[in-house]
Chain A
Amino acid sequence: DVKVTQSSRYLVKRTGEKVFLECVQDMDHENMFWYRQDPGLGLRLIYFSYDVKMKEKGDIPEGYSVSREKKERFSLILESASTNQTSMYLCASSPAMGNSPLHFGNGTRLTVT
């Protein structure tokens, strides 16, 4: 069974801090994704990566960056956290685009105060 592990379930950070959210998958999947989920707005794609060291912007990349140095690990970075980045962050992986299901982690609930 595919496992996608997010390093923290809950995180509380202060405005202006640099925040790292880590995600690891154990199935050698090519593609990895970061979404945020907010009430009334649903899941929105922040960034994705289809290969090591490759990254593509999603729908809402502003204020975020990502890093994929190894195939199994995809990090989301908030350079200077702001209160409007308080959200549930979900990482996912898939072996291919389009016709493959996404495998999600259980999310990191980030609160920025």
Chain B
Amino acid sequence: SQKIEQNSEALNIQEGKTATLTCNYTNYSPAYLQWYRQDPGRGPVFLLLIRENEKEKRKERLKVTFDTTLKQSLFHITASQPADSATYLCALVSSGNTPLVFGKGTRLSVIA
């Protein structure tokens, strides 16, 4: 069956460290993979999109990698801050005309 798994429900790290979140998928051949941030009581907000032929994408302190052989995406936040504390969702699209399918999310807490 098709699955999207985010490595852990919750992740605690110290301020200033790099947070690394994992998204693994099974029985998909995603054309695109997206990452979102969700704060409590709010809707998810888009962060980054990476295509199947891209290995890496960066935006400010954020970096996403996409390994179609390992069927995995890694999401990194460098120099993490307490304001980065949120739930991060990965989502993928199998082909052009299908909607996004979401993982369950990882709740990141950055401790000062």
Identify the A interface with B (CB < 8 A).
4, 31, 33, 35, 40-43, 45, 48, 50, 58, 90, 92, 97-99, 101-107
A104→B44 contact, CB < 8 A: yes
Q: Of B46, B93, B99, B104, which is within 8 A of A42 by CB?
A: B104
B49→A104 contact, CB < 8 A: no
Q: Closest residue of chain A to B43, judged by CB? A: A104
In the complex, B102 has a CB within 8 A of chain A: yes
CA distance A4 to B28 in the complex (A): 29
Residues from chain B with Cβ under 8 Å of A42 in the complex: 89, 102-105
- Chain B interface size band reads 20 to 34
Contact with A along B62-106 (1 / 0, CB 8 A): 000000000000000000000000000101010111111111110
Can you list 26 A-B contacts with CB-CB less than 8 angstroms, sorted by A residue number? A33-B99, A40-B104, A41-B104, A42-B102, A43-B44, A43-B89, A45-B99, A45-B101, A50-B97, A97-B93, A97-B99, A98-B31, A98-B32, A98-B93, A98-B96, A98-B97, A99-B32, A101-B49, A102-B46, A103-B46, A104-B44, A104-B45, A106-B41, A107-B41, A107-B42, A107-B43
How many residue pairs link A and B with beta carbons under 8 A? The number is: 61
Given contacts A43-B89, A107-B41, contact A58 B46 (CB under 8 A): no
3 smallest CB-CB distances across A and B, nearest first, come from A104-B43, A101-B46, A42-B104
Contact with A along B38-52 (1 / 0, CB 8 A): 000111111001010
CB distance from B107 to the nearest CB of A (A): 11
Residues from chain A with Cβ under 8 Å of B34 in the complex: 101-102
CB distance from A57 to the nearest CB of B (A): 11
